[in-house]
Amino acid sequence: MTITGGLPDPGAARTAAEYVALLRRLKEHSGLTFRLLEQRAADHGDVLARSTLANALQRDTLPRAEIVAALVRACGAGRDVASWLAARERIASGPAPEPATEPGPGFESASESAPGSGSGSPSRSSAFASVGDGRAVPGPAAADGRNRRPSFPGGSRTRSASVTVAASLGAVALLVVGALVLVPWDKGGGDGGKEGAGPAPGLSRIRPARAPELCLTDGEVTAGGGSKVVAVQRPCAQAVPPRTYLLRADDGLYRVQWDHPVEGKGCLTLLVDEPFRNMLEPRNDCTAGFQRFRIDRAEGTDGWRLRPEKDDRMCVAIRGDGGAAGAAAVAERCADEAADGNGEDDRQLFLIGPG
């Protein structure tokens, strides 16, 4: 393993296992504990749960890019983040073990129940996956004995790869996309549930109206002693990948799909179980319930409201004061009167345009 100036050289890694070994060397060189690294990451505005980091460094699969960047910064090597991410991307883009007609969704069953499509008891669903462990190639996978690729954030889930599962999930994604109709954009305001209204489908950016320099993307949050990758707001320069697509069905309702060059595709799903209730998690099954939204223009503004089909009295909003990077998107009761005097709560408004 090559060491440059006392620090590991990520360019020396040829495999995922070597790359993770270099990350372990970087941590050892820093002399910091997992707890201190978590605190250092928070000081830099990153989320780096120590349990997620420990899990990432114990495995021989690539950690998510978000974990890598946060760890490198926390170790005091912030100027080397680009080198670490470039090396990770090089390894992740290496020859696939088997040819595939389309990148497999790389999503995985979440350890928690996903909302079903109308029944009272939620069914198991899958979360956006990653090539490694932990996050920016999204989080730990469900440990239920099945062979699966790693998934987005997950409390104590374990990971295992499965080309067969990825291929079958890819087929599902193709069927779903084929069933969606991409219709022209009517720039007028209106109801996302009516044909011809709503924002243009396709590659998009979704920016909170209160903090337009931020974009809706993936991020890890902790709650109730666990962690999960859900929709959060982060600086737009850090929000890709994944790329965001609006998919509109012929009834005018939308799905929000994330597409990562490694993890594949996943649709945002409204969670119904505590402690992540009403947050939005990417799941590989884009035919599941609680994934469709009505998107309508807030009268007199440039903003759009995202209303879950499950209950259109609710609107997607940014948690807290709506301005903090890393704040999660949640569904809450739509505002009846606005704090800003325009009849809207701008935490519930989003600017949506081409990506």
Q: How confident is the model at residue 344 (pLDDT cuts 50, 70, 90)?
A: low
- At position 54, the amino acid (one-letter code) is A
Average pLDDT over residues 170-194: 38
Q: Kindly state the average pLDDT of the residues 176-198.
A: 42
C-beta neighbour count of 139 within 10 angstroms: 37
Which has the closest alpha carbon to 126: 111, 109, 139, 114? 109
Q: How wide is the angle at C-alpha 245 spanned by C-alphas 177 and 346, nearest 5°?
A: 135
Identify the DSSP state of 200: P
Which is more confidently placed, 226 or 329? 329
pLDDT digits (tens, 9 = 90+) for 93-124: 875 444 434 433 333 333 333 343 343 333 33
pLDDT in tens, 118-164: 433 333 334 453 333 333 333 333 333 333 333 433 333 333 333 33
Distance of CA 345 to the CA centre of its chain: 25
Mind listing the pLDDT tens digit for each residue in 271-319?
A: 999 999 999 999 888 888 899 999 999 888 889 999 999 888 999 999 9
For 111, the 3-state DSSP assignment is: strand
Residue that the structure tokens 């999930």 belong to: 169
Q: What is the pLDDT of residues 57-67, one digit of tens each?
A: 988 899 999 99
214, burial (CB in 10 Å: exposed 0-12, middle 13-18, buried 19+)? buried
Closest CA to 107 of 47, 165, 174: 165
Rounded Cα distance, 322 and 330, in Å: 11
Residue 17 has pLDDT above 50, yes or no: yes
Closest to 250 (Cα-Cα) out of 194, 316, 299, 175: 194
pLDDT, residue 322, reads 82
Does a cis peptide bond (omega within 30 degrees of 0) precede residue 241? Answer: yes
DSSP characters for 244-281?
A: EEEEE-TTS-EEEEEEETTTEEEEEEE--STTSTTBEE
Per residue in 219-269, pLDDT (tens digit) is: 989 988 889 999 999 999 888 889 999 999 988 999 999 997 777 889 999
Whether the full predicted model's pTM is greater than 0.85, yes or no, is: no
CA distance 200 to 183: 7
d(CA 302, CA 280): 23
> What local confidence, expressed as pLDDT, does residue 293 receive?
96
SS3 call for 9: coil
pLDDT digits (tens, 9 = 90+) for 70-93: 999 999 998 999 999 999 999 998
pLDDT at 203 over 90: yes
User: How much is the average pLDDT of 207-227?
Assistant: 92
pLDDT value, residue 114: 39
